[in-house]
């Protein structure tokens, strides 16, 4: 039993006090875990574009002050009542979505969207009692995605914690908590390209490159990257992308360009931008009869997808995916083992590393388009 079990822990956290303003390193109190909760010492975390999106709060419900962060690796410090699957000292990845293992979704092999622990971007408190575990001078600080990993210690529902091989380097496998798994799983678990197939990837950020990596490992012969930023094309070659299209270079719609260059359309497409126009293009560029399009990016809430019903009647398939169809507690430990067996290359996704005190640099790198993933070292 940890010497701090059952007590509040005082530690450092990066607090967002206002939308779009630099995070401030503050002394916070982290309450003990309650029923079905785990308190984790975060060793490494990374910045995902979702953190940026909600920090900027453009088109989102502002919820401040808040502790962001949802890609991380750490060690269990203590557990709350009813937690039997985890113990202090376990190496874990906190994850923004959960697996209660009891609901119909968790019991289904076809779903990873737990009824109880499904992502909720507007909730800033814990499920058990509707209260925050973070406070400064008695004032509650809001959680983010149930993880809040921009803190030296955090409290997470046990269903959102994946126990992993203690030999796995947390500064590498922490990226499996969100971005890599989302893109990679979209390709290998949902699109399922076959050897020799042609795959189009819309958006060559970290998630799109993970999707491309999935296509490369699956044996696709042509992987076509589509992006408005030509600076991404050279980097994308490391992830198996063989050809590139910048829609701005063409007068025709990009789906028409793709259909013409692939003799009728690509076999699979994966959309990773969140742009509804890119989603339409990704669907309309797949081949009739066998083409499959998978949507990964999250659109604005008022967006509408419009296409001719004939595109569906011609036996094209349109699918969506959430977190690459991975169940957090069941599947992610197995993905970690793939990395340990050298079946996955996570290092090439990590472009920068900063200390916790320099966390705002990670935001700068991503906003400037310089980074895929920036690892933040919580312990100097």
Catalytic residues, by residue number, are 48-50, 70-71, 100, 103, 106, 114, 118, 178, 373
What token pair was written down for 171?
A: 């500064």
**DSSP E strands, the chain:** 9-15, 24-30, 37-46, 71-79, 91-94, 134-136, 139-141, 153-157, 161-163, 198-202, 222-226, 243-245, 268-271, 292-295, 317-320, 350-355, 373-377
Q: Residue 306, Cβ neighbours under 10 Å: how many?
A: 9
Distance CA 260, CA 285 (A): 9
CA distance 114 to 101: 8
- Ramachandran angles phi, psi of 279, nearest 5°: -65, -45
Contacts of 217 (CB under 8 A, 6+ apart): 188, 343
User: Residue 273 corresponds to which tokens in the numbers above?
Assistant: 């931008």
What is the C-alpha R_g of the chain?
21
| Strand 139-141 to 134-136 pairing | antiparallel
The DSSP string of 256-273 is HHHHHHTTS-BSEEEE-S
Distances (CA, A) of 291 to 48, 151, 189, 194, 276: 30, 44, 16, 12, 19
Contact (Cβ atoms closer than 8 angstroms) between residue 205 and residue 233: no
Q: Helix (H, G, I), strand (E, B), or coil: what is residue 333?
A: helix
For residue 223, what are its two tokens?
Answer: 């992987």
- In whole angstroms, what is the distance from residue 147 CA to residue 132 CA? 12
């Amino acid at each position: 039993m940890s010497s701090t079990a059952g007590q509040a822990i005082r530690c450092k956290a990066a607090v967002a006090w206002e939308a779009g303003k630099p995070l401030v390193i503050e002394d916070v109190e982290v309450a003990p875990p309650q029923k079905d909760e785990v308190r984790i010492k975060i060793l490494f975390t990374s910045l995902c574009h979702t953190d940026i999106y909600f920090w900027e709060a453009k088109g989102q419900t502002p919820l401040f002050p808040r502790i962001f962060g949802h890609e991380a690796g750490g060690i269990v410090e203590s557990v709350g009542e009813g937690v039997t699957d985890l113990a202090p000292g376990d190496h874990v990845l906190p994850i923004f979505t959960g697996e209660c293992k009891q609901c119909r979704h968790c019991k289904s092999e076809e779903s990873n969207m737990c009824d109880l622990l499904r992502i909720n971007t507007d909730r800033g408190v814990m499920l058990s009692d509707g209260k925050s575990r973070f406070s400064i001078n008695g004032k509650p600080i809001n959680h983010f995605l149930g993880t809040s990993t921009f803190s030296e210690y955090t409290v997470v529902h046990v269903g959102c914690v994946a126990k992993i091989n203690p030999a796995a380097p947390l500064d590498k496998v922490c990226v499996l908590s969100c971005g890599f798994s989302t893109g990679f799983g979209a390709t290998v678990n949902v699109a399922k390209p076959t050897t020799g197939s042609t795959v189009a990837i819309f958006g060559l950020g970290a998630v799109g490159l993970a999707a491309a990596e999935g296509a490369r490992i699956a044996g696709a012969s042509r992987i076509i990257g589509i992006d408005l930023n030509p600076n991404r094309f050279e980097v994308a070659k490391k992830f198996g992308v063989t050809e590139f299209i910048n829609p701005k270079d063409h007068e025709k719609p990009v789906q028409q360009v793709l259909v013409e260059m692939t003799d009728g359309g690509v076999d699979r497409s994966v959309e990773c931008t969140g742009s509804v126009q890119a989603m339409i293009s990704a669907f309309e560029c797949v081949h009739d009869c066998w083409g499959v399009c998978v949507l990964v990016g999250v659109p604005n809430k008022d967006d509408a997808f419009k296409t001719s019903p004939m595109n569906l009647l011609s036996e094209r398939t349109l699918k969506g995916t959430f977190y690459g169809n991975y169940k957090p507690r069941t599947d992610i430990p197995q993905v970690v083992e793939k990395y340990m067996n050298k079946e996955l290359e996570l290092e090439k996704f990590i472009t920068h590393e900063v200390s916790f005190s320099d966390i705002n640099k990670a935001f700068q790198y991503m906003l400037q388009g310089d980074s895929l993933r920036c690892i933040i070292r919580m312990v100097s």
